[in-house]
């Protein structure tokens, strides 16, 4: 871990971090309010059988319970896009982007090993993800209080959900950073990371909406964030272990590849 | 101890030989020019020395340390200016110097002096780099490479983008560093500045070392171009040592003179010369001569 590099990373991202975290907090705030206001009506609509039952539990979330609405907020495309600013965008550009711009060369001419450089960026990325997810959940708690339904939320489980969500989005960040250290230019690193996250999301959503495709869900990392279950008191250590395993594998790749690869002159 | 030693340093990218068995030694306290056209292998050599690239074969040692195994320790003791230095556009010059100074782990004891010499005022340093001209970016690049008083400075095309006044200020900085006994590895394709600042020069072409010479020795081998107008019989120069390529036409004699000029001057002392021009020899000519030899 390199202090100056970490501080530099935070300084370079601080405005983006504030904007994204604020947006996530607002998004997180809205879901419990929508649940409190329209939850029973939405349930009534689904009870008519107008929509397939699978639609009622999109990605493991729903709008009929507070826990479900918080889970829905976490898995909704808006949250995915916002968290992807750091778990995909920052991760993919952290090394490949600097390399493409030529700024990596100046930084790496200092006495910083590539392993320390990578690990510092990974820690910074996890911090950004943690702040993002924390903002969303803080918004949800605030929204629940605002809507007068906070008593339905088991607050002691929120930190567990925070941890589980950090592991999920952190795993995307780890994959993104592994791609970033593997390429000399940003587009391939970004393409690989974005493609990976979109594929994961597609598998999970497809499995949740189409019963015949349910077997695909375990192949998606989103499957290992069962937010509603965690909030209602069922934290699956296995899910955390899977996500930790993916992070460890991505780190192993990056720590093996980055110190060994040639860094030619920026194109 | 030598500041830099390379032994058979080679870098191949598949069939492309970016650098082929480079053997050079840079002495401590000298300004060592590393000369060659674009694509000759200069930047590849520097990147190998800094540990950015792994050699295909051979080894490089910097300040006695192995360029692959000890690259972090090497980078703690050097200053590096990359060719066409890239900086963070969203930071001010001062923020960049602070950040890179912190990463170096050594206090920027020389920053004020360098900024003063390169006319980087505090107001300029407080502006965003995106508003800087190319020359100002290069100045920041020079300061970041030297502000922490490195034992060895590796400078890749350092005067690129500097106006003539600033080039002179930069050469003065190099003189100061040299007088302090610091070593400078000076990569350039600008012959005149290598001639101006360096003690010795290595010339590379197509990844191969063409020559390593003292600048003075290289210049002594140079060809001077002589052009004289005559009012009568031309002097006999065929047997004068060092005189080559004699042509006589329409009362005009041109030739080239290599090495000691005194035999030539003695031979023309009684000639009916109306006008005489002896073009000073440039490193460029010696450089081109070496390239021709390498091609043969």
pLDDT in tens, A42-78: 777 777 776 666 666 666 777 788 998 999 899 899 9
Contacts of B136 (CB under 8 A, 6+ apart): B93, B120, B124
- State the nearest Cα–Cα gap between B128 and chain A, in angstroms: 13
Torsion of CA B52, B9, B83, B163, to 10 degrees: 150
> How confident is the model at residue A41, as a pLDDT?
77
Q: A 85-144 residues with CB below 8 A of B?
A: 101-103, 105-113
For B23-60, the pLDDT digits (tens) are 999 999 999 999 888 888 899 999 999 999 999 999 99
> How confident is the model at residue A6, as a pLDDT?
96
Mark yes or no for CB contact B104/A111 under 8 Å.
Answer: yes
- Confidence bin at B169 (pLDDT 50/70/90): very high
Other C-beta atoms lying within 10 Å of the C-beta of residue B133: 10
Residue A194 pLDDT greater than 80, yes or no = yes
> How confident is the model at residue B294, as a pLDDT?
62
Taking the Cβ of residue B47 and every Cβ of chain A, the question of whether any pair is shorter than 8 Å is answered with yes
For A73-98, the pLDDT digits (tens) are 998 999 999 999 999 999 999 999 99
Q: Residue B86 is nearest to which of A4, A102, A263, comparing CB atoms? A: A102
Mark yes or no for CB contact B103/A102 under 8 Å.
Answer: no
Mark yes or no for CB contact B82/A105 under 8 Å.
Answer: yes
For A209-257, the pLDDT digits (tens) are 888 888 999 999 999 998 899 998 887 889 999 999 999 999 999 999 9
Residue A267 pLDDT greater than 90, yes or no = no
Residue B293 pLDDT greater than 70, yes or no = no
- Confidence bin at B246 (pLDDT 50/70/90): very high
The answer to whether A34 and A144 have CB atoms below 8 angstroms apart is no
- State the nearest Cα–Cα gap between B148 and chain A, in angstroms: 11
For A115-169, the pLDDT digits (tens) are 999 999 999 999 999 999 999 999 999 999 999 999 988 899 999 999 999 999 9
Mark yes or no for CB contact A264/B83 under 8 Å.
Answer: no
Contacts of B148 (CB under 8 A, 6+ apart): B79, B101, B104, B106, B107, B108, B109, B110
> How confident is the model at residue B291, as a pLDDT?
67
- The SS3 of residue B51 is coil
What ipTM score was computed for the predicted complex, to two decimals?
Answer: 0.86
Q: Residue B105 is nearest to which of A111, A263, A264, comparing CB atoms? A: A111
Give the mean model confidence (pLDDT) for residues B249-253. Answer: 92
Mark yes or no for CB contact A109/B78 under 8 Å.
Answer: yes
Lowest mean pLDDT among A135-149, A188-202, B164-178, B181-195: B181-195
Closest residue in B to A101 (Cα–Cα): B86
Global confidence as pTM: 0.87
Contacts of A238 (CB under 8 A, 6+ apart): none
The chain-wide mean pLDDT, for chain A, equals 91
Residue B172 pLDDT greater than 90, yes or no = yes
The answer to whether A185 and A93 have CB atoms below 8 angstroms apart is no
- State the nearest Cα–Cα gap between A257 and chain B, in angstroms: 13
Dihedral pair phi/psi, residue B185, rounded to 5°: -100, 115
A198-216 b/e (C-beta count within 10 Å ≥ 16 → b): eebbebbbebbeeeeeeeb
- Confidence bin at B283 (pLDDT 50/70/90): low
Closest residue in B to A13 (Cα–Cα): B90
> How confident is the model at residue A251, as a pLDDT?
97
- State the nearest Cα–Cα gap between B241 and chain A, in angstroms: 47
* Chain pair A-B, CB pairs under 8 angstroms: 70
> How confident is the model at residue A55, as a pLDDT?
65
- Percent of all residues in chain B with a pLDDT value above 70, rounded to a whole number: 94
> How confident is the model at residue B279, as a pLDDT?
83
């Amino acid at each position: 871990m390199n202090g100056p590099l970490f501080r530099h990373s935070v300084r370079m991202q601080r405005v983006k971090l504030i904007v994204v975290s604020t947006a996530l907090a607002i998004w997180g705030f809205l879901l419990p309010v929508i649940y409190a206001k329209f939850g029973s009506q939405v349930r009534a609509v689904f009870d008519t059988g107008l929509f397939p039952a699978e639609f009622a539990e999109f990605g493991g979330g729903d709008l009929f319970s507070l826990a479900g609405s918080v889970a829905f907020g976490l898995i909704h495309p808006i949250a995915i896009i916002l968290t992807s600013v750091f778990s995909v965008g920052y991760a993919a550009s952290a090394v490949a982007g600097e390399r493409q711009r030529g700024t990596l060369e100046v930084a790496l001419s200092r006495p910083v090993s590539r392993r320390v450089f990578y690990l510092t960026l990974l820690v910074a990325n996890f911090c950004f993800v943690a702040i993002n997810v924390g903002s969303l959940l803080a918004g949800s708690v605030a929204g629940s209080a605002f809507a007068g339904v906070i008593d339905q939320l088991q607050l002691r489980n929120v930190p567990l959900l925070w941890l589980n969500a950090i592991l999920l989005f952190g795993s995307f960040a780890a994959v993104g950073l592994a791609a970033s250290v593997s390429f000399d230019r940003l587009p391939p690193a970004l393409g690989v990371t974005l493609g990976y996250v979109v594929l994961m999301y597609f598998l999970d959503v497809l499995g949740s909406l189409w019963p015949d495709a349910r077997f695909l869900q375990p192949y998606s990392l989103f499957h290992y964030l069962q937010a509603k279950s965690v909030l209602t008191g069922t934290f699956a250590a296995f899910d955390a272990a899977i996500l930790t395993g993916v992070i460890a594998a991505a780190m192993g790749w990056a720590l093996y590849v980055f110190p060994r690869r040639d860094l030619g002159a920026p194109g | 101890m030598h500041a830099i030693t390379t032994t058979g340093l080679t870098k191949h990218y598949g069939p492309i030989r970016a650098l082929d068995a480079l053997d050079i030694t840079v002495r401590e306290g000298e300004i060592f020019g590393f000369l060659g056209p674009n694509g000759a292998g200069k930047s590849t050599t520097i990147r190998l020395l800094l540990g950015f690239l792994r050699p295909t074969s051979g080894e490089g040692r910097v300040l006695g340390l192995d360029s692959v195994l000890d690259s972090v320790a090497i980078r703690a003791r050097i200053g590096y200016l990359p060719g066409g230095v890239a900086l963070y556009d969203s930071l001010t010059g001062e923020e960049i110097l602070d950040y890179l100074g912190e990463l170096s782990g050594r206090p920027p004891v020389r920053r004020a002096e360098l900024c003063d010499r390169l006319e980087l005022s505090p107001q300029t340093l407080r502006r965003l780099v995106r508003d800087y001209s190319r020359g100002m970016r290069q100045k920041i690049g020079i300061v970041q490479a030297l502000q922490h008083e490195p034992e060895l400075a590796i400078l890749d095309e350092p005067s690129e983008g500097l106006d003539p006044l600033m080039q002179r200020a930069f050469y003065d900085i190099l003189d100061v560093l040299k007088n302090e006994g610091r070593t400078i590895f000076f990569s350039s394709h600008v012959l005149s500045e290598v001639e101006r600042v360096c003690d010795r020069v290595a010339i590379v072409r197509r990844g191969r070392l063409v020559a390593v010479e003292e600048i003075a020795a290289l210049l002594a081998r140079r060809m001077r171009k002589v052009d004289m107008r005559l009012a009568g019989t031309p002097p006999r120069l065929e047997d004068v040592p060092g005189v080559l390529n004699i042509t006589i036409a329409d009362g005009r004699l041109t030739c080239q003179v290599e090495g000691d000029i005194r035999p030539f001057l003695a031979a023309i002392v009684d000639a009916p010369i109306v006008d005489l021009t002896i073009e000073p020899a440039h490193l460029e000519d010696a450089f081109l001569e070496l390239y021709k030899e390498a091609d043969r």
